[in-house]
Amino acid sequence: QVQLVESGGGLVQAGGSLRLSCAASGRTFSRNTMGWFRQAPGKEREFVARISWSGSTAYGDSVKGRFTISRDNAKNTVFLQMNSLKPEDTAVYYCAAYSGGFATSPYYWGQGTQVTVSS
């Protein structure tokens, strides 16, 4: 049974930092693209970042230059370092494992972790 478990969310003041982690179990995703999405209340789920098995990355426009995605294939884990946080970054953040390479789509989802940024 595949599971993606996010951790590291919480409450932080504007300008602060958080580091999210997503631990995968049930199978290895070392050859799959992994990513992060977020959903704020009343809004659609939004792409945040993704990373290929080899380390290529892509970011949503709203987080470029502030967020960094990374992965540890040996630990089947992906991370999201979030710096210079803004109140508009408040959302539930979801980890996703894609079905294959960089151009594929998310296939597995985590349960989400809440990030709240106070002004």
pLDDT computed for residue 113 by the predictor: 98
pLDDT computed for residue 18 by the predictor: 98
pLDDT digits (tens, 9 = 90+) for 40-51: 999 999 999 999
pLDDT digits (tens, 9 = 90+) for 67-88: 999 999 999 999 999 999 999 9
Looking at the predicted structure, is the pLDDT value of residue 65 above 90? yes
pLDDT computed for residue 45 by the predictor: 97
% of the chain residues with pLDDT over 70: 100
Task: Report the candidate in 114, 98, 119 with the shortest Cα–Cα distance to residue 4.
Answer: 98
111's torsion region: left (phi>0), alpha (psi -120 to 50) or beta? alpha
% of the chain residues with pLDDT over 90: 93
- How far is 92 from 112, CA to CA, in rounded Å? 6
pLDDT computed for residue 103 by the predictor: 87
